[in-house]
């Protein structure tokens, strides 16, 4: 009587050899795609000072994420500026005072004995060594100017002195300032149009009175008044 031994198929041997054991943590690590392992963005705060209508500087902070583009940073600066100056105040500055916003870099004066980072609300500060920043000023009026700034990290690194709590030992904090400067172009355009209006009104007065002398006298009187206001505004506001 012959004995028949069970023969295991090669496929069974192959399956058993390939069935490697793995711990739950290692298996989960293999299943997690590398694209999901992304660092969370961190947030920093910039010190910013806004010039009020009374020519004082109020300190504020804007939160900036590490993922913000340079255009986003400028838009946050504009939002902070508009939060401290109403629409009426901004129109008054542009039309009657002939002042336009500019962005500057400044240091807090040693006369301001306050801890900037300990402030919980806006506070007026004294500034010194103010220097105009042409790049940020141009971007403030036209944010699309920074479209070519494709490296947000390099942009933020350039202005790292504005970050709250970031300053070299023995130095005063650096602050991003949104102030105003006299707009020479708007001033001369306004008064050129005013003089032209005086000439037109003088011509109308001469036509209605049928007298060139009356027209010249009326137009000349208006032009004299306008010229007087022009000198006062130039001396006081500039």
Residue appearing with tokens 């590490």 = 66
Among the ranges given (5-14, 72-81, 112-121, 172-181), the one the predictor scored with the smallest mean pLDDT: 5-14
pLDDT tens-place string over residues 103-138:
999 988 776 655 555 555 567 888 888 999 999 999
What confidence score (pLDDT) does residue 153 get?
A: 84
- CA distances (Å), 215 to each of 188, 194, 202, 228, 229, in order? 25, 16, 4, 20, 21
The answer to whether residues 47 and 162 touch, using CB atoms and an 8 Å cutoff, is yes
Span 63-87, pLDDT tens digits: 998 888 889 999 999 999 999 999 9
pLDDT tens readout for residues 196-228: 888 898 888 888 888 888 888 888 888 888 888
User: How many whole angstroms separate alpha carbon 144 and alpha carbon 150?
Assistant: 12
Both tokens assigned to 225? 């008044």
Render 78-129 in DSSP notation, one character per residue. HHHHHHHS-HHHHHHHHHTS-EEEEEEEEEE-TT----GGG-SS-EEE-EEE
CB atoms within 10 A of CB 179: 19
pTM summary value = 0.68
Alpha-helical segments (H) within the chain = 10-18, 24-31, 70-84, 87-95, 134-141, 152-158, 184-209, 212-237
Q: How confident is the model at residue 20 (pLDDT cuts 50, 70, 90)?
A: very low
Q: Pick the closest to residue 238 from 194, 185, 192 (CA basis).
A: 185
For 4, 5, 7, 198, the CA distances from 1, given in Å and listed in that order, are 10, 13, 19, 135
3-state secondary structure of 65: strand
């Amino acid at each position: 009587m012959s004995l028949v031994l069970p023969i295991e198929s090669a496929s069974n041997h192959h399956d058993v050899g390939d069935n490697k054991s793995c711990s739950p943590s290692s298996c989960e690590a293999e299943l997690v795609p590398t694209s999901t392992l992304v660092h969370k963005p961190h947030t920093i705060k910039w010190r910013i000072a806004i010039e009020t209508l009374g020519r004082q500087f109020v300190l504020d902070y804007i939160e900036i994420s590490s993922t913000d583009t340079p255009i986003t940073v400028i838009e946050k600066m504009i939002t902070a500026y508009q939060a401290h100056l109403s629409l009426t105040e901004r129109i008054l500055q542009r039309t009657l005072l002939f002042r336009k916003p500019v962005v500057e870099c400044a240091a807090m004066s040693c006369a301001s004995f306050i801890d900037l980072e300990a402030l919980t609300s806006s506070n007026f500060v004294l500034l010194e060594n103010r220097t105009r920043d042409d790049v940020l000023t141009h971007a403030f009026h036209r944010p699309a100017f920074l479209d070519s700034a494709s490296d947000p990290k390099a942009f933020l690194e350039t202005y790292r002195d504005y970050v709250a709590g970031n300053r070299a030992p023995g130095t005063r904090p650096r602050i991003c300032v949104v102030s105003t400067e006299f707009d020479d172009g708007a001033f001369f355009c306004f008064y050129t149009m005013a003089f032209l209006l005086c000439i037109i009104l003088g011509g109308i007065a001469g036509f209605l009175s049928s007298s060139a002398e009356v027209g010249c006298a009326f137009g000349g009187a208006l032009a004299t008044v306008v010229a007087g206001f022009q000198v006062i505004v130039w001396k006081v506001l500039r």
